[in-house]
Amino acid sequence: MSGSTFKSQAPRRTGPAAAWVSGLLENKYLGWIALAAALLAPLLTASPYSLNVMTTAAIFVMLAAGLNIVVGYCGLLDLGYIAFMAVGAYTAGIVSKAFELPLLFTIPAVLVMTILAGLIIGAPTLRLRSDYLAIVTLGFGEITRITANNLSVTGGPSGIYGIPKLLTFGDFSVHSPAVFYYVTILIVAFFVLASARLGKSRLGRAWRFVREDEDAAEAMGIHTYKVKLMAYIFGAVWGGFAGVLFASHLTAISPKSFIFLQSALVLMAVVLGGMGNMRGVVVGALVISLLPELLRDLSEYRYLAFGLLLVVAMVFRPKGLWPAHGHEEERKKKEPEQTAVDAAVSRGESR
C-alpha cells in the first residue's frame, strides 16, 4: 500500500487559552459557583428594585429550564408555553383565596392541574410534527388566555388580586423581598438541577433520539408518542411551579401577564442560550431577562438596542451562546488514532 492511499488529516490544535476556557466551561462545579454568586448578589445591591429584577430573572430561568425539556431535549416547537405558567398561577391564586391558604399548600392542586394541562394539549396533538404542532401550541396558549379573560372564577380581565403569601409562620413571612429572593433562588436551583439530571437520564436520551430522528427512534423500539407526552408533562410541571412563584412575587395576576410575547421571550432564551444545554439555557434566560433592564438608560431606544444585540449574537453564534457538545468525547477518542496513522505515513512506514 502506497503512502498516497492515505489522506493525511492534520490534528486539530487548540491553544492553551482555548483549552483553559473549554475546561472552565465544562467544570462540574460551575453550577455551584453560579448558585453561590446568586446567593451573594443581594450583598452587593439590596434595593427593592434590584431584588425585584433579580427575582423576576430567577423565575424566568425556571421557565426556560422547563421549555428546554420540550424544545431543547425533545425537539418539540412550543409557541404557547406561557399557558402552563398561567395554569399554575391561576390554580394557586384561586385555591389560596378560596380556602385562605398560603400558596405553598396549593402545590398539590397546581401539580394535578398542570399535569392535566400537559395531557390535554399533548395527548391529541403530539402526533403532529413541525409547523403543525407549533400552530396548535400557539392556539392553546391563546385559548388559555382568552378563557381566563372571560371566566368569573379567574377574575375576568381584572385578574386576581390580594393573593396570599407563599408561607407564613406567625410574624415571620417569606414575602419580604430579600427572603423571598433567597427562597426563589433555592427553588429555581432545584428545578434547574432536576432538569439537567433529566437530560442525562434514560428518558433524556430517548428525548434526544426523538429530536434527531423520530422515525429511526421508533424503529429502534422507542415509543415516541409516550416519550413526547412525558416531555410535555414535565415541561408543564416546570411552568406551573414557575407560575406559583410568579403569583407569590406579584400577589396579583391577570390575563395580560400571559400574552404570546412571553412565550416568544422564553423560547428566545432557550434558542439564544443553546438548545439542549442547561447551562446555556440559564445564560440565555439571564440575558433575555436582564439585558432590557441594563439598557434602561437608553430610554425609548432600549428595545431597539436589545433587538440589535440579539441579532448580532445569533449571527455570530447561530447554535447559541453555549451550545451542547454531544460528540465531543467521541471526537477526542478518535483523534489520537488518526494522529498516529498520519505520523506513520509521513515517515514512510506504510506497507
C-alpha cell at 30: 460551575
Q: Could you report the per-residue pLDDT of 97-132, keeping only the tens digit for each?
A: 888 888 889 999 999 999 999 998 888 887 777 778
Stronger pLDDT, 348 or 351, i.e. the higher one: 348
Q: Check pLDDT > 90 for residue 294.
A: no
Query: What's the CA dihedral at 342, 344, 346, 351 to 10 degrees?
Result: -110
pLDDT at 328: 41
Output the CA torsion sign for 245, 249, 253, 259. Answer: negative
Residue-level length of the chain: 351
77: alpha, beta or left? (left if phi > 0; alpha if psi -120 to 50): beta
* Least confident window among 84-88, 166-170, 293-297: 166-170
pLDDT at 127: 78
Region 2-13: mean pLDDT is 44
**Does 9 fall in a domain?**
no
Q: Check pLDDT > 50 for residue 9.
A: no
Stronger pLDDT, 221 or 1, i.e. the higher one: 221
Strand pairing class (172-173; 252-253):
unpaired
Q: How far is CA 313 from CA 40, 269, 321, in A?
A: 28, 12, 8
| Spatial contact of 255 and 157, defined as CB atoms under 8 Å apart | yes
Q: In the block, which residue shows the cell 434527531?
A: 212
pLDDT at 36: 93
Question: For residue 341, what are the contacts with CB-CB under 8 A and spacing of at least 6?
Answer: 6
Stronger pLDDT, 252 or 4, i.e. the higher one: 252
**Does 58 fall in a domain?**
yes
Cβ count near 232 (within 10 Å): 27
Output the CA torsion sign for 64, 69, 74, 76. Answer: negative
pLDDT at 22: 61
Number of H helices, E strands in the chain: 14, 4
**Does 332 fall in a domain?**
no
* Band of pLDDT at residue 65, cut at 50, 70 and 90: very high
Cα–Cα distance, 205 to 171 (Å, whole number):
47
pLDDT at 334: 45
* Band of pLDDT at residue 331, cut at 50, 70 and 90: very low
pLDDT at 303: 79
**Does 321 fall in a domain?**
no
**Does 327 fall in a domain?**
no
**Does 126 fall in a domain?**
yes
pLDDT at 23: 63
Stronger pLDDT, 16 or 124, i.e. the higher one: 124
Region 277-283: mean pLDDT is 91
User: Residue 160 belongs to what H/E stretch?
Assistant: strand 160-161
* b/e per residue 279-302 (b: at least 16 CB within 10 A): bbbbbbbbbbbeebeebeeeeeeb
Q: Could you report the per-residue pLDDT of 133-149, keeping only the tens digit for each?
A: 888 889 989 999 999 99
pLDDT at 194: 94
Stronger pLDDT, 175 or 276, i.e. the higher one: 276
Closest CA to 89 of 50, 140, 145: 145
Q: Could you report the per-residue pLDDT of 235-271, keeping only the tens digit for each?
A: 999 999 999 999 999 989 999 999 998 999 999 999 9
Stronger pLDDT, 93 or 126, i.e. the higher one: 93
| Spatial contact of 71 and 197, defined as CB atoms under 8 Å apart | no
Q: Check pLDDT > 70 for residue 50.
A: yes
Q: Check pLDDT > 50 for residue 54.
A: yes
- The span from the first CA to the last CA of the chain, in angstroms, equals 5
Task: Quote the mean pLDDT of the chain.
Answer: 83
% of the chain exceeding 70 in pLDDT: 83
* Band of pLDDT at residue 348, cut at 50, 70 and 90: low
User: Residue 173 belongs to what H/E stretch?
Assistant: strand 172-173
Strand pairing class (252-253; 168-169):
unpaired
| Spatial contact of 36 and 189, defined as CB atoms under 8 Å apart | no
**Does 342 fall in a domain?**
no
Query: By residue range, what is the domain housing residue 85?
Result: 48-259
**Does 18 fall in a domain?**
no
The domain tally of the chain equals 1
> Can you spell out the DSSP letters for 77-135?
--S-THHHHHHHHHHHHHHHHHHT--GGGGHHHHHHHHHHHHHHHHHHHTT--HHHHHH
